[in-house]
Chain A
């Protein structure tokens, strides 16, 4: 139904540039998640697509049509806000019917569409209530319903689940995904929660400080983070980063550990290893002194310091071992398959072999 393209999109507030040229092509029916820490410009990006913020330079295209100068109402989009932004003085029914009434839709059709949306979202019995009589999850559904009834080309979500408790968040996450598939609409979803991003998105846009760090599928981002920022941001617990000196396909970490990377590089580098990619190995190069164990049942998180051959420069390390471990590790060996190592240059760019 709709494609969305952003062409070197920039946004400034006065002299302050907050988005520095974003290029994204979103395919029809794709679910795109924009993720990044707070203040990275992700909400601004979404609001520019919605038409709630003006475009400083660059273009927003919906279905190949430039909509820079279009009012929000002329863009055929629907948006779900973080605080839901329901009309507090209207019933649930009227909240959902509002846009249709404005569009001059016949009464019978409004009724039919609102009731169908209510059914889909299990809101039928609440249609005559006002928003303040609803729970957070129900309000969230009403906000979704209001977006659905319009049959928009693009759904925009601005951190819609951040006001819900953890359990409801997981449930609503699944429902949003299911709904988007059923309705076959293109969706852009903004969140700071990387788990939400990984589970929802067909592709992820990682923003940092107004720059596009990486645009790709969740697995791509996990397996081949393009920058140090993405490497740290995606995955939980976060990737271990060790400073070191590269020489050919070998790196000597500060503290003396020498590892084979299989990637040719030279000079100062950063080596990234995900906690779950460490394997217990008596001959392993990484030796860990445990400071704390976290038992998660299915796996155990070992927090500690990296004991180098020389014993100096103790870097922090987190290791995730499968199963239950109750013994603290003291100088025990760990190894990592070279294919699971990530190498970054001092600017944070990925180095590929």
Chain B
């Protein structure tokens, strides 16, 4: 009885905020409600059939894939590089670490606004500099630029988090193992790639899973602020489309069906990651 009582809060939270909405989404994905929610009509698989015949929906898969890969790779590699550098610093390391961790405290929407200000086609400071060197920046028209800006802004918000984990991981590598490698003749970068990086693999794997999930879901705020999915749906990721179709387009049936698809995709991705990548992780 007591064990049940102790896990009850967690169970309740999971039921209330995960299982119940998920069940609702599955249920609703088989219906089409009218925009005012007065009556619903059972349509079976039709919502899904419609989705997979929709060119925009299929394209948002591609957008999401490119977006997730870019955000994950960019934020993880920059964070690792910063962590390695911060780990080498002896004097004033606390200041560097604080500064590097600080962006984590910035909410995604606020971060989106920050980047939007810098790159705003009309008033942005960086847009002006880019104009000086002959680059015409307008992410509200140019889909490549839009994707680039959203990727950079999303990755930026993630670097602090990744940095923190990488730094902790680096500091957990036993000093004597690195010293042994130094005596064995390995110079700094050789030591890094043959000893430190492999020993960091549990951290790297963990961050990979977390970052992919982040890129899938939590970049919503940034996208919403900077591009609102445009131009021409170039930055509409799967999760953004759930929002756009459901809450803006009021097509709740389709939105629910998309949620179910998203659920399956993320579940599948996580299973793949654990099955295939974790094998190469040395604990």
Contacts and interface: CB of A to CB of B under 8 A. Distances in A.
Given A85-B174, A89-B282, A50 B185 contact: no
B177 interface: yes
Given A85-B176, A88-B282, A102-B190, A79 B199 contact: no
A108 interface: no
A78 interface: yes
Contacts of A269: none
Interface stretch (A69-77, A109-117, A253-261, A306-314): A69-77
B187 interface: yes
Interface string B193-221: 01100110100000000000000000000
B185 A103 contact: yes
Contacts of A52: 179, 182-183
B186 interface: yes
Interface residues of B, number: 19
Contacts of B180: 79, 81, 85-87, 146
A350 interface: no
A72 B282 contact: no
A150 interface: yes
Interface residues of A, number: 23
Nearest to A50: B183
B186 A79 contact: no
Interface string B1-34: 0000000000000000000000000000000000
A85 B183 CA distance: 11
Interface string A75-111: 0011101110111110000000011001100000000
B184 interface: yes
Interface in A38-89: 50-52, 71-73, 77-79, 81-83, 85-89
B181 interface: yes
B195 A73 contact: no
B187 A73 contact: yes
Contacts of A72: 179, 182-183
A102 B184 contact: yes
B179 A150 contact: no
B183 A77 contact: yes
A83 B177 CA distance: 9
A150 B185 CA distance: 10
A79 B181 contact: no
A103 B176 CA distance: 21
A87 B181 contact: yes
Contacts of B177: 85-88
Interface string A130-174: 000000000000000010001000000000000000000000000
Interface string B163-195: 000000000001011011111111100100011
A73 B191 CA distance: 12
A73 B174 contact: no
Contacts of B185: 73, 99, 102-103
A73 B176 contact: no
A73 B184 contact: yes
Contacts of B182: 52, 71-73
A82 B185 CA distance: 20
A73 B198 contact: no
A198 B230 CA distance: 79
B200 to A, nearest CB: 10
A188 to B, nearest CB: 14
B179 A85 contact: yes
Contacts of A79: 179-180, 183
A200 to B, nearest CB: 21
Given A52-B182, A98-B184, A99-B184, A88 B176 contact: no
A17 B51 CA distance: 74
Contacts of B194: 98
A9 to B, nearest CB: 19
Contacts of A85: 174, 176-177, 179-180
Contacts of A77: 183
A82 to B, nearest CB: 8
A81 B180 CA distance: 8
Nearest to A102: B185
Given A81-B176, A102-B190, A87 B195 contact: yes
A82 B190 CA distance: 24
B280 to A, nearest CB: 10
Q: Which of B176, B177, B185, B190 has most chain A Cβ within 10 Å?
A: B185
A83 B184 contact: no
A82 B175 CA distance: 12
B282 A102 contact: no
Nearest to A104: B185
Contacts of A99: 183-185
Contacts of B190: 102
A86 B180 CA distance: 8
Given A88-B282, A89-B198, A89-B199, A150 B184 contact: yes
Given A73-B187, A83-B174, A146-B180, 15 more contacts: A72-B179, A73-B183, A73-B186, A78-B183, A79-B179, A79-B180, A79-B183, A81-B176, A83-B176, A85-B174, A85-B179, A89-B282, A98-B181, A99-B185, A102-B190
12 contacts: A50-B183, A52-B183, A71-B182, A73-B184, A82-B176, A83-B176, A86-B177, A87-B177, A87-B180, A98-B186, A146-B184, A150-B184
